[in-house]
Structure 1
Amino acid sequence: MRNAPAREMVEEASDFLIRRAIKKGAASADVLYSFGCGNSLSLRDGFPEKNTSGTSLGVGLRTVDREGRQGVAHVNSLDAPHLEEIVEWSLKNCTFAEPDPFIRLSEESLEEMPPLELEDSHITELTHEKRMAACTEMWQIARDADPRVISVRSASWGDGGGEVYYRSSSGVSGWYSGTSAGCSVSVILREGEIMEMGGAGDDSRILSCLSPSEVSLQAVKRAALVIGGSPLPTGRYDLVIDGESAASLVDVIGELFLASNIHKNRSFLKGMLGKQVSSPALTLVDDGILKKGLASAPFDGEGVRCGTTRILSDGVAVSWLYNMKYALMDGVPSTGNASRSISGTPDVGCSNLSLRPGRWSREDLFIQAENGIYVTELLGLHTINPVSGEFSIGIKGARISGGATGGAVSGMTIAGNMKDFMMNIDLIGNDFKYYGSTGACSLVVRDVAAAGS
């Protein structure tokens, strides 16, 4: 990795931290190191707006005492005085924590990791000129795609790479590295006195998988679909939710399956393992070892091998996602979903979460949701109550009539309970795509209460 410290230096520093922590009284300790480099460039209406490059380095030490108290400290240097300092701070922080009998370090070997294809040399070889060419192309295509475009507010490019090292007092150690690149466009359209903003973006581990021109056209298309939208009469509608909005829903549902949320009473799925919690149309899989996946890694933040976990199978909740603590509490193996920064203790998080695609084309979905609403934006998903399931969120999109989209729709609110909403998901499209680290496709939700005019 360009400009990164030599791996031997990182390994020596990590070994020093662990030996020093144990010598000073820690029962166990582990180190998480990360290095990253990145570049970003953006144009606003064809003029340069941002052009930055930088690197970051961090090393975090977690110490655990004999009562299970955890203390974490981190520093952005490998210099010996700084390393000595975080040993003291980490041990000090232990004294402020509560004892926890479920804290353990992994003893799993990280040898012979699967090839995940997380790096692309073409990304590390990108020049400023190539980034500028991509942004200029996006600006020009978006500007010319529709006569109603009055501003290309942003045509942006970003790329970078990084590497991670984990080491523990139990003898576990491992490295991995990866690259990624992404582009996005936001536009403003005007029709008479009405203006509408829209955007689109894409990112990937592999440079050749990105299409700046397609992103530009998609941004304009999304804005054009909803410009001049008005509310439909209040009533109950079938919704066809597009893939990107469906991905946002999948993220919300995935949070309900985190073992930490289950144990902290932050999920209405508590006590529902093995039971039907959605329609049989839904199957969700979390895949931490997906090749080229943006959230893929050979091991998680605790040095546990990542894997593939089906959490929802034909509507039945079949597994939670675990780190070591909650796995020990439930008497099951960790699923390799420990989420952790260098400055924090391990929690649980999703990796590459995906919805299993169905067999229906988008046209099929429109036909089967006659007189429904095609939803391209869900506004306020963060307000969904994960405990009760109650929600009230805004939507934008277009009316469905005659098997096709008609007039633009906005200013409407859908309300209900996620328990019912998940049960009413009826049809799944075949237009599967990853939106970041979440895979989804268009889907139909039946009989949703919507407030409008």
Structure 2
Amino acid sequence: MIDGFRRADIEGAAAWLLDEARRRGAAEADFLWSWGVRNVFSLCDGEPEEDRVGSSCGLGLRTLDGAGRQGVAFVNSLDRDRLSHLLDWSLHNCHQSEVLEGLGLYRGESAADVDLELEDPALYGLSPRDRLQFCRLMSEAACEADGRIVSVRSSSWDDGWGEGFYASSEGFASWHRATFAACGVAVVLADGDATEMGGSGGEARSLSQLSPAAYALEAVQKTALVLGGRPLPTGRYTLVLDPEVTADIVDALGELFLASNIRRNSSLLRGRLGEVIGSSRLTLVDDGRLPGRMGSSLVDGEGVPTGRTTLLDGGRVVSFLYDLRHARLEGRASTGNAARGVGTLPDVGTNNLFLLPGTMKAGDLHRGAEGGIYVTELLGLHTLDTVSGEFSLGIKGAVLRDGLPSEPVAGVTVAGTLLDLLAQVESLGDDLRFSGSSGGLTLVIRDVALAGL
């Protein structure tokens, strides 16, 4: 029983829909079920701000006609009349869709049933009081960390669990169940006329992976570090990126390696397979089977087993990420990177994307970058042009003196091309840290042109 839904009922609905779809003319069909519960609580300056509990469920049916058309529809009920309407709409949408080359279901080996450590029983037992206590802990830890705190704008807690089921007319079926928890703090510091807002937090599959008090302290420290920041003289500087900043860059890089973006010519990596595009120290990996990670699962949105794909190896482009359709178009195998919801068609997405860590400690990298800038935030990364690689980003951080952050920095801009930036990477730390499903680490980039005073 899944909080009101029996697995047997869901499997029965899937079997009926897949059989009926074939009987009514579909060449192939697949079914996706998703159900979840979410609990959210937050404080603003110590007072309750948000307290809600919700659940959602949905089931989707995709039909394919064998001529290159596909259609999807979804409902949120197992009622037989609703399922009949679901089938009608899926077939209708299929008949009305455009013809696409390479469509088809997965016919390979089933995924091995291994424990990816995605479920933590402790999260099922959390009470409203527990969530309140976590938020109070973060608020109090933040207030005690620095006398310049003028507001703890938010201390929030978010947890839940969910289950999914995939089945296809080719006979594949797979269940997926996972828990999650996330917490974070946003603070405001003031010193004279200077005011700064910042935050920190984390997201994980298990309770033990979260450190609420540490996030509160980090939020205060990072905000205090840039409080009263001023521009530096225009020039060339060494940048030392905080792991969270690197994770944001990794997330942006992921878009360049999606085969769908390559094919529609919206990635600067089109035609660059086999080329060196970055420092020899850079190896970028996507892995859908990292234990306990947010992007892990046994199969992707098309029932294909997930796996590990090296995208950059020593700065050289060695692979892209594929779903079934784009893999067929390129004469390759799917990498297990189909992403979809119950009401959407499959497309390519990342699983867990990260840089392989180096061997140096963050402190040693800081000490080796005297006069450089420790970067805690890049502003405007979403404006990166994925076709040209051009960017213009604001920077917040602090100048490094004797290995420690000193004068706060703000109001400076770094502009250039992504490939030039990747080529200038000199060192990587051993401090791999995930932000959601993207992993970052301390990253040293030499001789970067900044525009300031």
TM-score by length of 2: 0.98
Structure 1 residue identity aligned to 2:186: S
Query: 2:56 maps to which residue?
Result: 56
Paired position in structure 2 for 1:303: 303
Residue 319 (structure 1) aligns with: 319
Deviations 1:218-272 (A, max 9, x none): 1101100000000001111110111000000011112111111111111111111
Counterparts of 1:21-420 in structure 2, within 5 Å, are: 21-110=21-110, 112-420=112-420
Cα distance, 1:96 vs structure 2: 2.3
The whole-number CA distance in structure 1 between the counterparts of 2:380 and 2:410 is 14
Q: CA 1:70/1:103 → structure 2, altered by over 3 Å: closer, same or farther?
A: same
Contact 1:279 1:426 in 2 (8 A): yes
Deviation at 1:2, TM superposition (A): 5.0
1:371, 1:352 → 2: CA distance? 34
CA drift of 1:100 comes to: 1.7
Does the CA contact (< 8 Å) of 1:356 and 1:440 recur in 2? no
Deviation at 1:76, TM superposition (A): 1.1
Q: How far apart in 1 are the matches of 2:367 and 2:132? A: 43
Compared CA separation, residues 205 and 68, structure 1 to 2 (3 A): same
Change (3 A) 1:144 1:403: closer
Structure 1 residues 275-327: Cα deviation after superposition (integer angstroms, max 9, x where no partner): 11110010111110111111100000000000111111111111111100011
Say which is worse superposed, 438-447 or 243-252, in terms of deviation.
438-447
For residue 253 of structure 1, what is the amino acid of its counterpart?
Answer: L
User: SS of 2:279's equivalent?
Assistant: coil
Residue pair 2:111, 2:304 contacting (<8 A) in 1 also: no
Q: CA offset at residue 4 of structure 1?
A: 4.5
State the AA in 1 paired with 2:406. G
- Aligned-residue offset at 1:164: 0.8
CA distance in 2, matches of 1:238, 1:80: 63
User: Which secondary structure state, in structure 2, belongs to the residue aligned with residue 387 of structure 1?
Assistant: coil
Alignment partners' CA distance in 1, 2:109 and 2:403: 55
Q: Deviations over 1:12-33 (max 9, x none)?
A: 1111111121122111110111
Misfit runs of 4+, over 4 Å: none
CA contact (8 A) 2:238 2:445 kept: yes
TM-score, normalised on structure 1?
Answer: 0.98
Separation in 2, partners of 1:231, 1:79 = 62
- Report the more deviating stretch, 180-189 or 356-365: 356-365
TM superposition shift of 1:194: 1.3
SS at match of 2:216: helix
Q: What is the distance in 2 between the residues matched to 1:110 and 1:425?
A: 40
Q: Distance between the aligned counterparts of 2:420 and 2:112, measured in 1?
A: 45
SS of the aligned residue for 2:114 comes to coil
Whole-Å separation in 2 of the counterparts to 1:41 and 1:402: 41
CA contact (8 A) 2:111 2:305 kept: no
The 3-state SS of whatever aligns with 1:300 is coil
Whether the aligned pair in 1 keeps the contact of 2:143 and 2:152 (CA below 8 Å) is: yes
- Could you tell me whether the CA contact under 8 Å between 1:109 and 1:172 is conserved in 2? no
Percent of aligned positions that are identical: 48
Q: CA deviation at 1:111?
A: 5.6
- Per the TM alignment, residue 112 of structure 1 is displaced from its structure 2 partner at its CA by 3.7
Asked if the contact 2:111/2:299 (under 8 Å) is kept, the reply is no
Q: Could you tell me which residue of structure 2 aligns to residue 7 of structure 1?
A: 7
- Distance in 2 of aligned mates of 1:421 and 1:54: 44
- CA drift of 1:370 comes to 2.2
Aligned partners of 2:99 and 2:91: how far apart in 1?
14
Q: CA deviation at 1:403?
A: 3.0
- Say which SS state the counterpart of residue 176 (structure 1) adopts: strand
User: What is the deviation of 1:367?
Assistant: 2.7
CA RMSD of aligned residues (A): 1.1
Structure 1 unmatched ranges of 5 or more: none
1:97 to partner: Cα distance: 1.3
Q: Following the alignment from structure 2 to structure 1, what is the Cα–Cα distance between the partners of residues 439 and 66?
A: 42
Please state whether the residue corresponding to 2:96 is helix, strand or coil: coil
Q: Could you tell me how far 1:145 is from its partner in structure 2? A: 1.0
In 1: Cα distance, 2:101 partner to 2:188 partner: 55
In structure 1, how many angstroms separate the alpha carbons of the residues matched to 2:326 and 2:4?
Answer: 34
Q: Is the 8 Å Cα contact of residues 104 and 325 (structure 1) preserved in structure 2?
A: yes
**1:117-152, CA deviations, whole angstroms, 9 ceiling, x for partnerless residues?**
110000011111111111111111111110000100
CA shift, 1:380, in A, is 0.7
Give me the whole-angstrom Cα distance separating, in 1, the residues matched to 2:4 and 2:287. Answer: 29
Mean Cα deviation higher: 36-45 or 428-437: 428-437
Aligned residues: 453
One-letter code of the match for 1:181?
A
Kept in 2, the 8 Å contact 1:162–1:177? The answer is yes
Give me the whole-angstrom Cα distance separating, in 2, the residues matched to 1:211 and 1:58. Answer: 33
> What is the alpha-carbon distance in structure 1 between the residues aligned to residue 222 and residue 148 of structure 2?
13
1:385-409 residue CA offsets vs partner (Å, 9 max, x unmatched): 0000000011100012333221000
